[in-house]
Structure 1
Amino acid sequence: MEFSGENVDYYFDDPNATVDYGDMVPLCTMKDYRKLSSMLIPILYSVITAMGIIGNGLVVLTYLFYKRVRSMTDMYLMNLAIADILFVVTLPFWAVDIPTGWIFEDIGCKILKGIYSINFYSGMLLLAVISIDRYIAIVHATKSFNYRGKALVYSKIICFAIWLAGIVVSLPTFIFSTMYKFETTGKMVCEIRYPKSYSSIGKAVAPTVQLTLGFFVPLLIMVYCYSLIIKTLLQARNFQRHKAFRVVIAVVAAFVVCQVPYNVVVVYDLFRTLDCDTFQSKAIVRTVTQSFAFFHCCLNPVLYAFIGVKFRFYFLKIIQDIWCLSKKYITFRHTLARPSSETFVSRRTSDFDIDNPSSFTV
């Protein structure tokens, strides 16, 4: 997955190939785009990082200290939150890269690009399997009881396979990402640079894999599963039906609104034009739509976790415990009283354990 902060002053066929810049003719300057992105991207990425860490961090904290992982859905939600956290923590590095150039050495380039790629693909595939899990639990509710008896074992295997797939697909990113000095700006950049023998293949394969695993596969699975879920909910006579229906619509709408615009730009980017104004406008649109796609990480905790009654309960419990901890700390500092024997996190869940096989409202 490419970043929007493209360090391009020359427009040529393959910016990731190993080429001799000395013979290049400057066709298109990106000064206006770089000026805008240096102001816009740090702000957008900072907001996305903060919101992503807080929301997904609460999900992980809930599973670690308040709620046991009991079902396939729980396992998927925890792994999705971890993938989203690892994804958003790479964004500040790219925000710094835009105005200053790459300052984190070659090894940092490979590691951060690789982590970014792994968690992007893993997160998208986890969204797909969550859709399948909800489809089985709702559309085939009766049959799913027997199947979900060994749910936790199956979910661990599936999550392992997803992470492994993310690593395998991201290997070229680890291998070919490199730091080098961009001739026209004098800044160090971190980009994927394929050798000449691989440049044409990499140019074709990389966006194809990104679009397939990172968009089309999850989209098709979600559309199919949630269409049947909606059909089942419309046939059900349950007072929860309308609420569940709204949740499904919100999940699908968030994915479409956040992901479709950026992936349309990626498809369009495969057919590049030599018109400088068009190229610069496309770069700006790519930056904005990419930020929308990243923002989906912030929505996942709300759509898949805290929209449910149980997670809202645990969320309030976390806030209560943090408030109690802060009061104890202030009291201790000002009165030098003996520390209370109460602890910040209680692993006793018997008083408020309201789990059922699924933590997703739908």
Structure 2
Amino acid sequence: MIMEINGSDEIYDYTYNYNYTYDDIEFLCVINDYGKLSIFITILYSITTVIAIIGNGLVVLTYLFYKGIRSMTDVYLMNLAIADIFFVITLPFRAVEVTEGWIFDDIGCKILESIYSINFYSGMFLLTVISIDRYISIVHATKSFNYKVKALLYSKIICLAIWLAGIIVTLPTFIFSTKYLLQTSRKVVCNIRYPKNISSIGKVITPTIQLTLGFFIPLLIMVYCYSLIIKTLLQTKNRQRNKAFRIVIAVVASFVTCQVPYNVVVGYGLFRTTDCNIFQTKFILNKVTQSFAFFHCCLNPFLYAFISVKFRFYFLKIIQDIWCLSKRYITSHNNSASVVSRCISDFDIDSPSSFNVS
């Protein structure tokens, strides 16, 4: 079997009697029923993109035009929403890649993989610092007042450090991402592909970093912080205790449900194999669990922002203002200014927490 890789002069000649290695197996094994898998992934990517952009877009809109950024938590939630939006805008390209293969050039591949990686790590780091922020606010509530005096400045510095860390971790991804022909799907794909001299090491280091920085460390910190938060809540008799307890459980459960299966598969992938059947199983499980892991960014607005009573108030105000803006646009064509004036009179349009419709 003759195969040309990446449209170059580099040719691989694999015969049926070839004693192939772990590094060659991805080019030799063909995934059965890949068409059905690609349809499933494309649908899930599309749903994730739409829901995440709407949900996180509302969070950003609320902070920019209504609520404003007034606390440490606001800074984290704003940055988390931005990270999720940039993360999901890569999914339509991945959906096209699944069905049609990578149709863009190498630089497009590097940019896409880098955007994905930066926002993946930044999102995980932000979820971690949000859990720490909640731990300080609830478990050490009496001591947190002085801590919050300069909290806004600290939170901006922390977020800057998070984005820089995401960029640094992503540098290998930018350098080694490329497009190449993959026999498993019989399509050109965009992925990290290390040179032959460091291929074996790279295939171990990359998932190890992802598991460590993108899963285990955030998970351990979140479990520690939320465990102490639950312990503190159980010792109080506040009316809001049960609600806060349910929110904490939902946050942890959603993270575990979405992220654990995918990271278990990534960890399992560290064990090498030259068996095509095992490789096919790994490939399918990786794609399916990864799709559900991506869905977590749709849940973040509901778990971290929309649970706030004030935030829901501003959210409703957005809907009302959009309704008035659309009503003004429609009625302006019918010269019905009275209807518009009645609509916008219900709102304080001079308030900085609302859109200026004038």
Which category describes the TM-score, using the shorter chain as reference length?
Answer: 0.7 to 0.9
Q: TM-score, normalised by structure 2?
A: 0.87
CA distance in 2, matches of 1:151, 1:24: 63
CA distance in 1, matches of 2:181, 2:162: 35
Q: Is 1:85–2:88 an aligned residue pair? A: no
- Contact preservation (8 Å) 2:65, 2:352: no
CA distance in 2, matches of 1:216, 1:31: 30
Once the two structures are TM-superposed, the CA of residue 179 in structure 1 deviates from its matched residue by 2.0
Once the two structures are TM-superposed, the CA of residue 339 in structure 1 deviates from its matched residue by 11
Q: Is 1:197–2:200 an aligned residue pair? A: no
CA distance in 2, matches of 1:252, 1:72: 21
Larger deviation, residues 248-257 vs 31-40: 31-40
**What is residue 316 of structure 2 aligned with on the other side?**
316
Once the two structures are TM-superposed, the CA of residue 197 in structure 1 deviates from its matched residue by 2.3
**What is residue 21 of structure 2 aligned with on the other side?**
none
**What is residue 265 of structure 2 aligned with on the other side?**
265
- Contact preservation (8 Å) 2:76, 2:155: yes
Once the two structures are TM-superposed, the CA of residue 338 in structure 1 deviates from its matched residue by 9.5
Residue type of the alignment partner of 1:167: I
- Contact preservation (8 Å) 2:31, 2:185: no
CA distance in 1, matches of 2:186, 2:141: 61
Once the two structures are TM-superposed, the CA of residue 31 in structure 1 deviates from its matched residue by 4.1
RMSD, aligned CA: 2.6
SS at match of 2:189: strand
Residue type of the alignment partner of 2:121: Y
Residues 63-91 of structure 1 deviation map (CA, whole Å, 9 limit, x = unaligned): 00001111110000000000000000000
Segments of 5+ residues of structure 1 without an aligned counterpart are: 1-8, 11-18, 352-362
Once the two structures are TM-superposed, the CA of residue 185 in structure 1 deviates from its matched residue by 7.1
Residue type of the alignment partner of 1:273: T
Residue type of the alignment partner of 2:191: E
- Contact preservation (8 Å) 1:118, 1:170: yes
Once the two structures are TM-superposed, the CA of residue 274 in structure 1 deviates from its matched residue by 3.3
SS at match of 2:178: strand
Once the two structures are TM-superposed, the CA of residue 122 in structure 1 deviates from its matched residue by 0.2
Once the two structures are TM-superposed, the CA of residue 39 in structure 1 deviates from its matched residue by 1.1
**What is residue 122 of structure 1 aligned with on the other side?**
122
Segments of 5+ residues of structure 2 without an aligned counterpart are: 4-9, 19-24
Once the two structures are TM-superposed, the CA of residue 322 in structure 1 deviates from its matched residue by 1.2
Q: TM-score, normalised by structure 1?
A: 0.86
Residues 22-62 of structure 1 deviation map (CA, whole Å, 9 limit, x = unaligned): 24658754342421222111111000000000000000000
Once the two structures are TM-superposed, the CA of residue 301 in structure 1 deviates from its matched residue by 0.3
- Contact preservation (8 Å) 2:331, 2:340: no
Residues 110-129 of structure 1 deviation map (CA, whole Å, 9 limit, x = unaligned): 00000000000000000000
**What is residue 358 of structure 1 aligned with on the other side?**
none
Once the two structures are TM-superposed, the CA of residue 99 in structure 1 deviates from its matched residue by 1.6
How many aligned residue pairs are there?
336
Q: Is 1:216–2:219 an aligned residue pair? A: no
Residues 165-190 of structure 1 deviation map (CA, whole Å, 9 limit, x = unaligned): 00000000111111234579774321
**What is residue 282 of structure 2 aligned with on the other side?**
282
Residue type of the alignment partner of 2:159: C
Residues 240-287 of structure 1 deviation map (CA, whole Å, 9 limit, x = unaligned): 111111100000000000100110111111113333333323322222
The alpha-carbon distance between structure 1 residues 156 and 23, as it changes in their structure 2 partners (threshold 3 A), is: same
Residues 144-173 of structure 1 deviation map (CA, whole Å, 9 limit, x = unaligned): 100100000000000000000000000001
Q: Is 1:291–2:294 an aligned residue pair? A: no
Q: Is 1:348–2:351 an aligned residue pair? A: yes
Once the two structures are TM-superposed, the CA of residue 237 in structure 1 deviates from its matched residue by 1.5
Residue type of the alignment partner of 2:202: G
Once the two structures are TM-superposed, the CA of residue 100 in structure 1 deviates from its matched residue by 1.1
